[in-house]
Amino acid sequence: MGITEILKAPIDLKLKVLHVVRIVIAAIGRLFYSLYYGNEGQKIPTITDEILKESTIEVARKIRQKEISSVEVTEVCIRRIKDVNSALNFFVEDRFELALKEAREADELIRSGTLSIQQLEKEKPLLGVPFTTKDCFAVKGLRFTSGIVLRKDFISDEDAGAIRQLRDKGAIIIGITNVPELCMWWETHNHIYGRTNNPYNTTRIVGGSSGGEGCIQAVGGSIFGVGSDIGGSIRMPAFFNGIFGHKPSRGIVSNTGQFPTPESALIDSFLGVGPMTRHATDLKPLLDIMAGDNKNKLKLNEPVNINKIKVYYQFSSGAPLVDAVDPDIIIAMKKVVEFLSVQHKLDAEEKKIDLLRKSLPIWMATMKTKQKFETLIMKNEGVGAILKEIGKNFIGCSGNTLICLFTALSDHSGIEVGSERHLHYIKLRENLEKIFTDMLGDDGVFLYPVHPTPAPFHNEPLLKPFNFGYTAIINCLGLPATAIPLGLSRDGLPIGIQVVANHNNDRLCLAIAEELDKAFGGWVEPQKS
């Protein structure tokens, strides 16, 4: 079939042809990348301080009960970051001196006996616990760049809402982690700090946009982390780095103090702020704190009887221009379904929700705003300015990444906000949300891939840009979702699934995460010899 015939063909046939072309290009790219990078990568040191392998709640308990000091834990985290960051490049700015000062103050408060252990647990449950967050949250006194060269000297004068909630409960922030430019791509790379490497294989990506945070949690560089997620930015890095990550129900955790700022209420509803951890048991107490006054909506302390949960699952979206789901991921999903059937007598039901095939166009259309993309990353505006910057990128002279420039260029075409086509996709989103809410009710969860493949090679996402559709669509629906690690693939890379529940039923996701953590082993230390 020639180009003329393809252009005249029906849209479904065009997609099929494009899908085949993309598969061929991706296969050639995979061969090139495997020859270019090899398969070994750089080895990283194993974790030698056992406290880094323990849960947040256990570390907090030990600090309160003076079994270990906050200063010791903070020093251990700092040492671990320094040991592995040169190989992985996940950590971009520290506040080590201030963190150690706050750790000493926490230890002094505990030693003083001013508050009992019970009072400390109630009023300051995270007292002395070191944590990190991604470079799109304001942290007082630190750079706040979102990976944008134009913002490289911007310093925050206050904390973002979620960071403030955690610090008010005694947690100590030790620094910030790397992100893609403008947090709008699923490989972590920018022209301020460079590229972040996967700890399981440094030739592979860590995901985005909370990629640096996913990486630091995988290697035990901080006790817990905070990420944000508008299209999978918590769940994809959690998946690629073998940790747990939770995107809360819409409107639960404050989005204040982030850049970029959501332009509309609709897009704000897509964005979720949540915890990233090595242990499932940490997700609930961290979410309880981060939710602030909204925590009562979640009823997190209400017991969950897993035997009474209704389980639905789907192995693939079937979407065009997206990779087939890797066999290792499908096998892992089947093992989960079998486990829930045998251990909890749950009769899981396989679904084939056809509208999930349109995940990407729904997300992309409903994310469209009147604000032009280039205004956030460039000094000049317009197609000419973007093309000039793309030319500079090819000779290594641009402050912008190629993917951001192409995204800016594509912003000048496609659906117009408020157009008939735009409203059509808004309606499809509403229809899909109703399908999910009707299916899930108050006692249902949906098991679904986080991503169709384990972590690809660096730059390989450019050849498979639409693979993030598995997470993006859940943002559109405003539903809570937890990424759950399920061991390693045949290539030694993390795999897992996401579990989705109805609005404000986050506790169901978290209960399933805890159960699968115990059953399948959860986080696996990277490259442990």
Helices (H), strands (E): how many in the chain? 19, 13
Report d(CA 102, CA 120) in Å as an integer. 16
Residues 6+ apart with CB under 8 A from 389: 378, 398, 400, 405
Evaluate whether 415 touches 365 at the Cβ level (below 8 Å): yes
Asked about 413 being catalytic, the answer comes back as no
Which candidate in 62, 124, 134, 247 is catalytic? 134
Report d(CA 340, CA 347) in Å as an integer. 8
Evaluate whether 188 touches 383 at the Cβ level (below 8 Å): no
Q: Of 461, 468, 489, which Cα lies nearest the Cα of 26? A: 461
Asked about 434 being catalytic, the answer comes back as no
Evaluate whether 494 touches 239 at the Cβ level (below 8 Å): yes
Tokens of 394: 């090819």
Which candidate in 69, 156, 222, 233 is catalytic? 233
Residues 6+ apart with CB under 8 A from 84: 44, 45, 199, 219, 221
Asked about 233 being catalytic, the answer comes back as yes
SS (H, E, C) 372-439: CHHHHCCCCCCHHHHHHHHHHHHCCCCCCCHHHHHHHHHCCCCCCCCCHHHHHHHHHHHHHHHHHHHH
CA 338 vs CA 5, 348, 352, 490: distances in Å: 47, 9, 19, 21
Evaluate whether 379 touches 409 at the Cβ level (below 8 Å): no
Sheet holding 172-177, edge to edge: 91-94, 172-177, 130-134, 224-229, 272-277, 244-247, 481-488, 494-501, 444-449, 310-313, 349-350
Report d(CA 212, CA 177) in Å as an integer. 5
Report d(CA 125, CA 316) in Å as an integer. 40
Which candidate in 209, 222, 228, 254 is catalytic? 209
Q: Which residues are catalytic?
A: 134, 209, 233
